[in-house]
Structure 1
Amino acid sequence: MTWSIRVLDPRTDPEPAGWAAFLEAQQAPLTWDYGLLCTESRPSRSPYLLTVVTDGADIVAAVLAMVCRPTSSSAPGPVDGPARWGPRWLEVQHAWLSAYPAWLFAEGLDVAARREILRRFERAACRRTGPGCLGVVYRAIPPDDAGLVSGRGRLVREINPTLVLENTFGDLDDWLASLSRNRRSSLRGQIRKIAADPGLVVRAGTARDDLDPAELAAMLRAHRETKGPVKFDQRGPVTAEYLGELVGRPDVVTTTYHDDGGRLLAFTDLLDHPVMPLHQHWAALPPGDGRPKHLYFDVVVRGVRHMIENNRKFLSLGRGVTDLKTSLGFTPSPMLGVVVPRPVTRW
């Protein structure tokens, strides 16, 4: 094969030629945008490395990995310099996009080519990460793709599934009719209650420029703190700068809930996609702080309506709270994690 492989730091390296066209051809989720990768990675304790594979002048594959290290520090993580000699590892994941594996392949690449590209990625990215690199961890791999990264010396384990709803509905009532009687009744009541609440102001739209990104980031941070730490989570916080760029995009639907005094009660963003939109962020004040209960269910209703009205094939709610999401008709899609120790990457 005549592939050329480059391992880029989006914070410092320029966008590779043809990147936008490659993303469009692959119908890549919007968070692969190079500017967003840079903004997300810049303050992160686990910054991204983007491995780009070209065949001549054409990009044919890309793999995104976080450079992780055993520290509790929230300071921006180094990629180069003396840190290359300390213990660290690569996590192949898109930090807040659990419904998709963190790689993209051109349509013409067969399974053997994709597997070989991932082996070459492992070797190149580990070299860039340094002598202290312990290996590679693949997160959120669909079982159908497990053969690309499994093999001798590679540890494969099932992880929490992602929750996906297939669009088989003519309208919102069709979806409601597919749910249990109790869930259907409670959702209809909540929809009526939210619509009739004079103290609740709901706004939804794309390219929002009426929001304070710092306020959104603070609410998201506080919301996550109430849930407690996530085991083995090396992701950094979502910053105001990143949220400001995200909610200002024309392909992101941001829904906000304020009281009649203008206080932000909750917000969510839906990343649109021609096949599977995904709810990325959700945050709210605790119910004891004066926000109405059940706003999350309104978020789901709005997402399902978006899927149906825009003729999308699926809707993803990401991972977590599986029982709740299955009661709303979402199906758990199994996901695997694969650990590849550094010596194995050389085989």
Structure 2
Amino acid sequence: MDVHDPRTDPPPEGWAAFRARCLPPVWDYELLRREAWLAKNPPVLAVVRQGPAVVGALAVMVCRGWGAGTFGPVSGGRFRPRWAEVYLPLLSGYPACVFDGDFTDRRTAIRQFERALREYVGPGLLGVVYRAMNPELVPALAGRARISREIDPAAVLVNRYSTVDEWAAGLAPDVRQYLNPDVATEAAPGRTDLDPHELAGLLNAHRARQDERAWAGGQRSRVGGLHLDTRSPIAPAYLDALVRRPDVITRTYRAGDGRLLGFNTMIDHPDGAAVHHWAALPSADGGRKGLYVDCYARCVAHMIAAGRPELTAGRAMLPEKQALGFGTRSLFSVAVPRPVLGR
């Protein structure tokens, strides 16, 4: 079991092949490196091996506190209280613990990971929270004094459609009215024509409004949701690398004067597409109401045309996504205090 700091360590041997076979692009080592350098609670990467082969991985945020500064230090006092979260803050509907399909000894691997992380972080490690885990991972994570709880699910649309019109026919009239707005839109993979500062500004403002609504609606009470949010603002340098990838499709919506009204990144993978980032101007600032409906319709159209088995869409705005035909997939969080780490 190896623990790597993407800021200072080279990519693990065999990582690129495992990532391409089993993981979405947010696990790309260069993206992890940029995320880690620009995060207040930087991620590290734990790699599970069977002999020389990589058979599993865990992305781990080492958290210093909710009031931490913008950037996490490369090293810190080993006695300083910290906790760890196995979590993908930039793709919250997917687990940050993944094993190769042929690897079965997951419980042993999890205990080895916890011992390695305890040694890596030092005596100040208070425990580990596994956020947003798929149900099949829970037996390997559970045990004495480990707290497991179901959290807000991920939105999933299973591909049962032959055309996008077939999907749209199931929408309520008050939802369907937002399809095909009179707004200029453009989408392509590997885009090099975008200003990452413009994207980051819109996206971080959108996330801040979501957090405010969550506070007002009392949605921060569920373990593993937005409660005690440890995410960092998304940096322009990260988005710049993300939208240039050939497996990420970026769609933009612009007003007649060129102003950015909204944008979406969609992860495209043979195992399933994912509505990744979405951000839009609010109506009060000149945005277009319901623009996300058209965006989702175009993501569904890609899912159907490309023959992807499903389209996932994270864990926020579930009522709005249910109105678009999405079902849900159960997710769990497991909290492990230090005394039982590795046991």
1:295 lines up with 2:291 in the alignment: yes
Do the aligned partners of 1:64 and 1:103 also contact (CA within 8 Å) in 2?
yes
Do the aligned partners of 2:156 and 2:326 also contact (CA within 8 Å) in 1?
yes
Shift in Å, 1:73: 2.7
Alignment of 1:264-279 (within 5 A): 264-279=260-275
Q: Which residue of 2 aligns with 1:190?
A: 178
1:105 lines up with 2:99 in the alignment: yes
Query: Superposition RMSD on alpha carbons, in Å?
Result: 1.4
The CA distance in 1 between the partners of 2:126 and 2:142, in whole Å, is 17
Aligned pair partner of 2:56 in 41, 54, 61: 61
Residue identity in the other structure for 1:173: D
Q: Which residue of 1 aligns with 2:158?
A: 166
* Structure 1 residues 346 and 248: CA distance shift in structure 2, 3 A: closer
Do the aligned partners of 1:266 and 1:282 also contact (CA within 8 Å) in 2?
yes
Shift in Å, 1:187: 4.2
1:125 lines up with 2:105 in the alignment: no
Is the partner of 1:107 in helix, strand or coil? coil
* Structure 1 residues 173 and 294: CA distance shift in structure 2, 3 A: same
Is the partner of 1:191 in helix, strand or coil? coil
Aligned pair partner of 2:196 in 203, 213, 218: 213
Q: Which residue of 1 aligns with 2:244?
A: 248
Do the aligned partners of 1:65 and 1:93 also contact (CA within 8 Å) in 2?
yes
Q: Which residue of 2 aligns with 1:226?
A: 209
Report the TM-score, using the length of structure 1 for normalisation.
0.91
Q: Which residue of 1 aligns with 2:223?
A: none
Aligned pair partner of 1:49 in 23, 44, 48: 44
The CA distance in 2 between the partners of 1:328 and 1:144, in whole Å, is 27
The CA distance in 2 between the partners of 1:346 and 1:307, in whole Å, is 41
Aligned pair partner of 1:33 in 21, 28, 36: 28
Residue identity in the other structure for 1:220: L
Is the partner of 2:261 in helix, strand or coil? strand
Q: Which moved more, 1:93-102 or 1:296-305?
A: 93-102
Q: Which residue of 2 aligns with 1:203?
A: 186
Q: Which residue of 1 aligns with 2:148?
A: 156
Shift in Å, 1:285: 1.1
Structure 2: gaps spanning 5 or more residues: 213-225
Query: Which of structure 1's runs of 4+ aligned residues deviate more than 3 A?
Result: none
Is the partner of 1:343 in helix, strand or coil? helix
**Residues 158-190 of structure 1, C-alpha deviations (whole Å, 9 max, x = no match):** 1111000000111112212334xxx1x334432
Shift in Å, 1:79: 5.1
Is the partner of 2:198 in helix, strand or coil? helix
The CA distance in 2 between the partners of 1:62 and 1:109, in whole Å, is 12
The CA distance in 2 between the partners of 1:154 and 1:38, in whole Å, is 31
Shift in Å, 1:55: 2.8
The CA distance in 2 between the partners of 1:234 and 1:189, in whole Å, is 37
Is the partner of 2:313 in helix, strand or coil? strand
Is the partner of 2:156 in helix, strand or coil? strand
Do the aligned partners of 2:59 and 2:97 also contact (CA within 8 Å) in 1?
yes
The CA distance in 2 between the partners of 1:206 and 1:62, in whole Å, is 27
The CA distance in 2 between the partners of 1:223 and 1:201, in whole Å, is 20
**Residues 179-236 of structure 1, C-alpha deviations (whole Å, 9 max, x = no match):** 4xxx1x33443224x1xx2xx2111111111110011111111122223354211011
Structure 1: gaps spanning 5 or more residues: none
**Residues 283-326 of structure 1, C-alpha deviations (whole Å, 9 max, x = no match):** 11110122221101011101111110100001011002221111
Do the aligned partners of 2:187 and 2:251 also contact (CA within 8 Å) in 1?
yes
Q: Which residue of 2 aligns with 1:15?
A: 11
Is the partner of 2:11 in helix, strand or coil? coil
Q: Which moved more, 1:286-295 or 1:156-165?
A: 286-295
Aligned residues: 330
Seq. identity, %: 45
